[in-house]
């Protein structure tokens, strides 16, 4: 049988198995108490089953066995799946009993160590443009663990609306799969691409149940699993890190990374613990601006697709073009973040700067306020001295 045709069959089989498994996992969720209760920080208005990620994981594992059991690549697949099992079990326990952040971190740490020592996926070197390449040495381990933790938790953080994390993950994984096929060495690229697209197939089968109005959630079982898998498959391109191989996954994962980074900045400004929860994430802000549930999700999909397109362009562009893309994307992203108030409605440094130079009335009012403020401060100082 033709290799490509066989993969298409396995892709469809994986997707259909996910379609069949999801209702069964839904029944299991109610049996074991893996449900999400409505609350102040919840979008759902009724009790919802979680652990939807379990259906994705089982279908994906089945698809991998079908596709790779006759190939040496299966050895690498088992290495990655063993780490994934640790993450799925951690998420499953959390969905049923709600683990503390520290307990979940132990599970992620064990999975990251398994990926580093057993699967053999790690960052070994890093190349800084115009400076040179550096071997990470012993620093390779913490860099790999940090990468897995950061991406896994970033994907978990955006799992706040129906279909959001699943859709963004499919966009990110599909982009990584395309990059793997065309830019990784021939010995590994096609196999890694098929591995990634089998995961996309498993998510596709689950997706109709999860898109608004959802009948089942990913839960931490699914969100942690998808984040972990994205971090691991992107590590293949980061094995010998170059400027472009660092930027590519960072742009592909632009949505979850942006949401996480600005959540940290926001909590620092507000003097809150970084681990504290709030309703100021990207999807929350879009909803507060009047977007419908689906409208907010589709807007974030559009943002994820934009990041993915830029990531693909970077692999064909020259270094000066890449620098320009990074600069203009950063400016555009900052404007978007300030417009929706992701850090805070009054924290708009770039917009205020543009208004200052582009609007004479605003500039006059701003300078007048500064003058009056300084005048009031001087008068207060005189009163304090007297």
pLDDT at residue 183, rounded to an integer: 78
3-state secondary structure at position 310: helix
Distances (CA, A) of 210 to 14, 36, 136, 178: 17, 14, 41, 25
Terminus-to-terminus CA distance in the chain, angstroms? 95
If asked whether residues 279 and 364 sit together in one domain, one would say no
Whether residue 372 is preceded by a cis peptide bond, meaning omega within 30 degrees of 0, is: no
Q: Do 134 and 161 fall into the same domain?
A: yes
Binding-site annotation, residues: 156, 220
360 and 268 within one domain: no
Q: Taking 80 as the threshold, does the pLDDT of residue 337 lie above it?
A: yes
Residue 48 and residue 171 in one domain: yes
146-181 confidence digits (pLDDT tens): 999 989 988 988 888 899 999 999 999 999 898 888
Range of the domain at 369: 349-385
Looking at the fold, whether 194 and 163 belong to one and the same domain comes out as yes
d(CA 147, CA 282): 22
- Length of the chain counted residue by residue: 386
Same domain flag for 280 and 360: no
* In a shared domain, residues 311 and 367: no
- From CA 315, how far away is CA 259, in angstroms rounded? 24
Q: Which residues are annotated as a binding site for Mg(2+)?
A: 156, 220
Domain match, 359 and 282 both: no
Specify whether 334 is located in the same domain as 353.
no
Does 181 lie in the same domain as 63?
yes
Percent of the chain predicted with pLDDT > 70: 88
Residues pairing with 307 in the sheet: none
Strands across the sheet with 240-241, in order?
A: 132-135, 125-128, 240-241
In this structure, are 285 and 355 located in the same domain? no
Last residue of a domain, one of 340, 362, 377: 340
If asked whether residues 279 and 373 sit together in one domain, one would say no
What's the rounded mean pLDDT across residues 179-189? 80
| Of 241 and 185, the one with more pLDDT | 185
The pLDDT tens digits of the residues spanning 293-306 come to: 899 899 999 989 99
The DSSP symbol for 211 reads S
Q: How far apart are CA 121 and CA 352, in angstroms?
A: 45
For the chain, what is the domain count? Answer: 2
Give the residue with greater pLDDT, 126 vs 66: 66
């Amino acid at each position: 049988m033709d290799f490509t045709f066989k993969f298409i069959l396995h892709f469809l089989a994986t997707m259909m198995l996910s379609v069949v498994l999801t209702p069964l996992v839904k029944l299991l969720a109610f049996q074991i108490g893996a449900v999400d209760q409505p609350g102040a920080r919840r979008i759902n208005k009724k009790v919802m089953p979680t652990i939807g990620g379990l259906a994705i994981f089982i279908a994906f594992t089945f698809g991998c066995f079908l596709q790779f059991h006759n190939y040496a690549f299966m050895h690498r697949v088992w290495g990655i799946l063993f780490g994934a099992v640790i993450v799925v079990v951690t998420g499953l326990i959390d969905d049923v009993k709600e683990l503390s952040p520290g307990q979940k971190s132990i599970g992620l740490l064990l999975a990251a160590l398994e990926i580093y020592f057993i699967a053999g996926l790690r960052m070994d070197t890093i190349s800084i443009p115009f400076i040179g390449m550096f071997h990470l040495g012993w620093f390779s381990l913490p860099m790999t663990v940090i990468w897995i933790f950061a991406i896994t938790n970033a994907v978990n953080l955006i799992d706040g609306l129906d279909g959001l994390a699943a859709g963004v993950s499919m966009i990110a994984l599909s982009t990584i799969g395309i990059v793997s096929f065309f830019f990784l060495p021939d010995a590994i690229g096609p196999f890694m691409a098929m591995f990634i697209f089998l995961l996309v197939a498993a998510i596709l089968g689950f997706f109709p149940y999860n898109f608004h109005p959802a009948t089942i959630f990913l839960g931490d079982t699914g969100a942690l699993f998808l984040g972990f898998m994205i971090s691991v498959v992107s590590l293949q391109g980061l094995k010998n890190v170059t400027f472009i191989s660092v930027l590519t996954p960072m742009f592909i994962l632009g949505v979850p990374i942006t949401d996480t980074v600005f959540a940290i900045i926001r909590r620092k400004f507000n003097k809150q613990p970084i681990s504290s929860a709030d309703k100021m994430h990207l999807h929350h802000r879009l909803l507060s601006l009047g977007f419908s549930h689906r409208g907010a999700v589709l807007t974030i999909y559009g943002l994820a697709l934009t990041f993915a397109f830029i990531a693909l362009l970077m692999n064909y562009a020259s270094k000066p073009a890449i620098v320009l893309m990074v600069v203009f994307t950063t400016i555009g992203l900052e404007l978007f973040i300030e417009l929706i108030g992701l850090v805070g409605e009054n924290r708009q440094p770039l917009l205020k700067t543009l208004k200052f130079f582009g609007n004479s009335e605003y500039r006059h009012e701003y300078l007048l306020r500064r003058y009056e403020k300084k005048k009031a401060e001087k008068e207060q100082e005189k009163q304090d001295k007297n």
